[in-house]
Chains A and B, each alone.
Chain A
């Protein structure tokens, strides 16, 4: 378990450090965030045509209310946590990739719900918006990451037949990948 924890923290710090580099911000994070705003606008226009996306900003053309999707709300950090958790956990590359593909969809799917819900909460009540934005949704997204990881761990093939794979051991015994 200690080994998993150390590997997880090291990967987390590395991936997060990479995410903060100007190059990745410019070529991945900013386009990703803009795409998130556009997908959110596309989904919302199904029932609310007065919504548009400009860059990373989701705006109501009816009342001019707008939300800007910033770091921490674009789901990138949550995805990084998921990647670090799956890569640090002993499993085959195939299972890591399959888990990541499904996990990223789950995390980003909930994140789109977060963005859309905050967009409407902000138009309704600013205090509720702040509460949901700063505290509740942050916890829910991390809960989503944890649940995705738990489901993924449960679906891993059992070692040597019928026995389910153990969680990483507490000792410093080597972990098979």
Chain B
């Protein structure tokens, strides 16, 4: 009886927010410790995309724990004749949306929630890949040393596009993507919540 009265005292939205806040520490901990495994598909997708789209710039892509190392074909400069440029990108910076999506999904606790978690995870992988690749391109095409930037051969508008892709992929996409995916996958939950307002 007591739990029932507690359950009806607060609105469904309030209970949902409380549930999200309770799930977040757990999902963040799981994400952090399982990240090397969870982010393996993202690293694999990054490898495929860079080999297909930037094969002249990227020689190899390697995942080490939560970082991706891009081994490029670029040389550090004339002073270092035999060296090559490598760029490390921390995938955690672009994947904190995974625990947010998981907390939202677990708090909503809809039918087939585990399937929703899997689909959401799969959908968010390309968003993570976007951020990591844009970060890499920004490093070699914009913020790198002049000797490195000049070897990439990117035109002015291409560098502008990379800058926008990086800003969008770091400031907007990692946080917005999980919210969008969650809303799209929880329409009936949202409808029910509105009806009980």
**A residues near B187, Cβ cutoff 8 Å:** 1, 167, 170
**Interface bits B163-178 vs A (CB < 8 Å: 1, else 0):** 0100110111011101
The number of chain B residues with a CB under 8 A from chain A is 34
Which of A12, A142, A154 interacts with B100 by CB under 8 Å? A142
**B residues near A16, Cβ cutoff 8 Å:** 167-168, 171-172
Interface pair A134/B197, CB less than 8 Å apart = no
Cβ-closest 4 pairs across A and B: A142-B175, A154-B197, A135-B96, A139-B100
B97 within 8 Å of A (CB atoms):
yes
Q: How far is the CA of A71 from the CA of B170 in the complex (A)?
A: 10
**Interface bits B88-127 vs A (CB < 8 Å: 1, else 0):** 0000110011011000100000000000000000000000
**A residues near B20, Cβ cutoff 8 Å:** 143
Interface pair A138/B194, CB less than 8 Å apart = no
A binding-site residues for B, Cβ under 8 Å: 1, 5, 8, 12-13, 16-17, 20, 71-72, 77-78, 80-81, 134-136, 138-143, 145-147, 150-151, 153-155, 164-167, 170
**Additional pairs, 10, CB under 8 Å, beyond known A1-B184, A154-B194:** A16-B171, A20-B164, A138-B174, A138-B175, A142-B100, A142-B178, A143-B24, A150-B193, A151-B13, A154-B193
Interface pair B13/A150, CB less than 8 Å apart = yes
Interface pair B194/A139, CB less than 8 Å apart = no
Interface pair A12/B176, CB less than 8 Å apart = yes
Interface pair B180/A150, CB less than 8 Å apart = no
**A residues near B164, Cβ cutoff 8 Å:** 17, 20
**A residues near B28, Cβ cutoff 8 Å:** 135-136, 139
A interface secondary structure, majority? helix
**B residues near A153, Cβ cutoff 8 Å:** 190, 194
9 A-B residue pairs with Cβ-Cβ distance under 8 Å, sorted by A, are A16-B167, A77-B172, A136-B96, A139-B24, A143-B24, A154-B193, A164-B194, A167-B187, A167-B194
Q: How far is the CA of A71 from the CA of B168 in the complex (A)?
A: 11
Given that A150-B13, A151-B13, A167-B191 are known contacts, is A77 also in contact with B171, CB under 8 Å in the complex? Answer: yes
B195 within 8 Å of A (CB atoms):
yes
B binding-site residues for A, Cβ under 8 Å: 13, 17, 20, 24, 28, 92-93, 96-97, 99-100, 104, 164, 167-168, 170-172, 174-176, 178-180, 182-184, 187, 190-191, 193-195, 197
Q: How far is the CA of A146 from the CA of B99 in the complex (A)?
A: 15
Interface pair B193/A146, CB less than 8 Å apart = no
Interface pair B96/A81, CB less than 8 Å apart = no
Interface pair A81/B172, CB less than 8 Å apart = yes
Interface pair A167/B190, CB less than 8 Å apart = yes
Closest B residue to A154 using CB positions? B197
Give min CB distance, A156 to chain B, whole Å: 9
